[in-house]
Structure 1
Amino acid sequence: MEKEKQEIHHEDLALKTAAQYFGEELMPLMGISGTIALIAPTESVKLEARQMYQDFNYVMADNGWVHLEFESDSITLEDLRRFREYEAATSRAHKVAVTTCVICSSRVERLKTELAEGINVYRVRAIRMQDQDADRVFSQLKEKQERGEKLWKADLVPLLLTPLMSGRLSVEDRIVKSLKILQKEESAVTELEMEKMQAVLYTFADKFLNARELERVKEMIAMTRLGKMLVEDGFKQGVEQGIGQGMERGIALTKRILRLSASGCAPEQIARDCGIGLKEVNHILKEDDEL
């Protein structure tokens, strides 16, 4: 259970990091127009207390919201109903107009973007980049590296979108290959920029890959700057949690000692019952007397 909680925390941290980079760098490259003002909440609570989690939400400069969803398979009618429900809940809660853009992996073949029910027609915008070739992106970078040329940020950013492009490599292999290139070219960007780039690729892996494929990517991520950041954050969270649990146990033990003392038990008996030394028992009882 604790491991599962930690993985959820790590995933949440990586997604938040990726959301910022999507808004700053990638949305314009995917043809999503407008200026982002800030990242918006992604959780809606309905009347029956059911929580709905969306992928990414952005508040735009015109006060409208852009909602990003990720699809690795075909967009179905059920998907459209789910997106429509998200939009309605968000629009009502925040009193804003919401536009949903569905980012599709290269594996998506059937794109259904309209849902007609009753007198209403609901639409989403499908985003995919099959007119661009991931193989070409990789080959161009390889050629520059072989010529001994330095790679810059502008060379690396297209790597982040290779999971959406056409190409011979699987989505899993594209993500792994992109992570390897980024790791080799860490000097091309700042540490923070590199963490954001790696977080974007992790997000695509989380959204597009199955459990076995995702495990391979996680092994790669563990060796990157992002992986180190997640480990450090997890360690900090674990220490804080450990301190909190220790304090709770200490308070419970003190209450038990005082309760046994009040019932007439001798300090020696209390020490045996609580499994601690007589010195600790006397110290707690003395502090209580002083209060």
Structure 2
Amino acid sequence: MTTQHFDKFFKGLGISDAFSLINMIPLRMLDIDPKQLLTQMVNFNPTELMEIDLKAYRADLIMELDHVILMFEFQSTPIYLDDKRRFNIYTAIKDRARFGDKPIYIIVFSTVEDTKVIDYKVNPVSSFKILVISLKDYNAGEIINNIEIKIKNNQKINQNELINLALSPLMTLDGTIAQHLEKTVQTLSKLKKSIKENSKFVFTLTWILVDKFIEDGETRQKLSNILSDNMRLMEEFGQSKYEAGEQKGEKRGIKKGEKRGIKKGKNIGEKRGIVKTRQEIAVNLLKEGLPLELISQVTDVSVERLERFSNNGK
């Protein structure tokens, strides 16, 4: 897991990305109060929780929320005693990293186990729970086929379908996980740029599985590079949308669907020496019929002054 790839795949992920996976957790089985998941932030793989020398003592994916820490493991073999002991080490990392009183929950997505809660007793007075989420009852072939059809017919693909696609190599399929990961990477590469831009976490999740399950170094590097190139194209596509919004904003003001681009365009335009006063911009936006509060936020002109402009027609 190179630092270069790590930074690229986790950069820019947010709360909605986290919950695309968290939503698969049957909270009632792990006694998690849904209120514990209310959060204003999510920190993917916090540095303090990743600085363990041996890869074997790190969870595959860690999410730090406001009130809890979720550690995810993706496993294709039965959970044996050594696995339980390894998960116990994960929980000990919390104390080492000084993460206060945030409880840690271990969630294992499994190819072979049934969905269940394992109560592992460390000793007679200490135990912790491991939630196992079974993937073996999913129809991976159907998931992949439906996505392929939607790509061919240019149909909308939602986030849940893409998460299932990323996890499909761990579902019951003929052949090896490595072979199906190659197929998944190929399918993801066929997605339209507009879909990819809103699906960065799916590429991140696929990369985690590639890094873990592809044993052949050359194949692992090849697939990682393909995923990395897709991430780069997403960034370029997002930047091009911003620039398009910037140009339209300088000429016509904000139109529906361009709020982010125009706000960025205004800031960039000023830095490039474009001579437009904030009040002139505000007047133009008033003519576009935008809400006063939004214009005020974009131009820093007070709502009271905007009301005067509107009433006076200037």
Same topology, TM > 0.5: yes
1:185 corresponding residue in structure 2: 191
User: Which residue of 2 is the match for residue 85 of structure 1?
Assistant: 89
Structure 1 residues 167 and 30: alpha-carbon distance in aligned structure 2, compared to 1, 3 A threshold: farther
For residues 22 and 128 of structure 1, the distance between their equivalents in structure 2, rounded to whole angstroms, comes to 21
Whole-angstrom CA distance in 1 between matches of 2:12 and 2:80: 26
Counterpart pick for 1:115 among 96, 120, 124: 120
For 1:94, what is the secondary structure of its paired residue?
coil
Alignment correspondent of 1:282? none
Structure 1 position 221, deviation (Å): 3.6
Distance 1:161 1:120 in 2: 33
Structure 1 SS opposite 2:180: helix
Matched, 1:218 2:226: no
Cα gap change, 1:18/1:105 in structure 2, threshold over 3 Å: closer, same or farther? Answer: farther
User: Which structure shows the bigger proportion of residues in strand conformation?
Assistant: 1
Sort the Cα spacing of 1:87 and 1:74 in 2 relative to 1 into closer, same or farther, 3 A.
Answer: same
Q: Distance in 2 between matches of 1:127 and 1:85?
A: 20
Residue 43 of structure 1 aligns with an amino acid whose one-letter code is: E
* Post-superposition offset of 1:79: 2.3
TM-score (norm 1): 0.60
**2:226 aligns to what SS in structure 1?**
coil
**Which amino acid in structure 1 is aligned with residue 106 of structure 2?**
C
Match of 2:21 among 16, 26, 33: 26
1:68 paired residue number: 72
| Aligned sequence identity (%) | 17
Matches within 5 A, 1:133-212: 133-145=139-151, 148-154=153-159, 155-191=161-197, 193-207=198-212, 209-212=213-216
Give the C-alpha shift of residue 181 in structure 1.
1.5
What displacement does 1:134 show? 0.6
Match of 2:102 among 89, 92, 97: 97
Partner-residue secondary structure (3-state), 2:138 = strand
- 1-structure distance, mates of 2:50, 2:214: 28
* Alpha-carbon separation, structure 1, partners of 2:101 and 2:20: 24
Distance in 2 (CA, whole Å) between partners of 1:109 and 1:118 is 26
Q: 1:228 to 1:135 in 2, by over 3 A?
A: closer
Q: For residues 244-279 of structure 1, give each alpha carbon's deviation from its aligned partner in whole angstroms, at most 9, with x where no partner exists.
A: xxxxxxxxxxxxxxxxxxxxxxxxxxxxxxxxxxxx
Provide the C-alpha distance between the structure 1 equivalents of 2:171 and 2:229, rounded to a whole number of angstroms. Answer: 24
| Compared CA separation, residues 54 and 43, structure 1 to 2 (3 A) | farther
Question: Deviations along 1:67-103, whole A, 9 cap, x unmatched?
Answer: 2233333322222223223313404622223233233
The answer to whether the 8 Å contact 1:106/1:165 transfers is yes
Three-state SS of the structure 2 residue aligned to 1:43 is helix
Structure 1 or 2, whichever has the larger Rg, is: 1
- 1:26–1:18 Cα change, 3 Å: farther
> So what's the TM-score if we normalise by structure 2?
0.56
Q: Is the 8 A contact 1:75 1:111 kept in 2?
A: no
Alignment partner, residue 268 of structure 1: none
Unaligned runs of 5+ in 1: 1-6, 233-291
SS of 1:102's partner is: strand
CA distance in structure 2 between the aligned counterparts of 1:150 and 1:115, rounded to whole angstroms: 45
Code of the residue aligned with 1:131 in structure 2: it is: D
In structure 2, relative to structure 1, the CA distance for the partners of 1:54 and 1:84 (3 Å cut) is same
**Shift of residue 206, structure 1, vs aligned partner:** 1.5
Q: Offset of 1:8 from its aligned partner? A: 2.1
Gaps of 5+ in 2: 28-33, 236-314
